[in-house]
Structure 1
Amino acid sequence: MKDRLSDIRMEPFVKYIVAGGLALVAGLWAAELAAFGTIAWVVGLALVVSGIAGLSVGIHSEIEY
């Protein structure tokens, strides 16, 4: 029997939005829990920026002009 998960197909914009949202939430938590200026805080900041970028790409790809 074929695995059900292999049959699931997602639109590319959905992948960007989901990944961007997860990265944004993880980055905000990391930045909140870590002390300002530490490596963990910088990693959290990088996750926030990449999360915003992922959300932006996902949303922008669906906008019709």
Structure 2
Amino acid sequence: IQSAFFLGDVVEGISLPQAVAMVSRNPAEAVGLDDRGVIEPGRRADLVRVRVDDHVPVVRTVWRQGRRVA
């Protein structure tokens, strides 16, 4: 998660959604994990809800396979 925020901050022209794709969808596709990397029906549904405090991403909620675990 921190990598996505870092990319969004330091690389001009990259939005946060683009940065998230760079650290989630692209790696999943690269190693053939077809059930993860994007939010779509039929996918794994591993999600993280994040809040930013003083430019630092803080994990607020975690879902694993669609179930809240933290």
What's the TM-score, normalizing by structure 1? 0.32
Larger Rg over CA atoms: 1
Flag the structure with higher strand content.
Answer: 2
What's the TM-score, normalizing by structure 2? 0.30
RCO higher in 1 or 2 (8 Å CA, sep ≥ 6)? 1
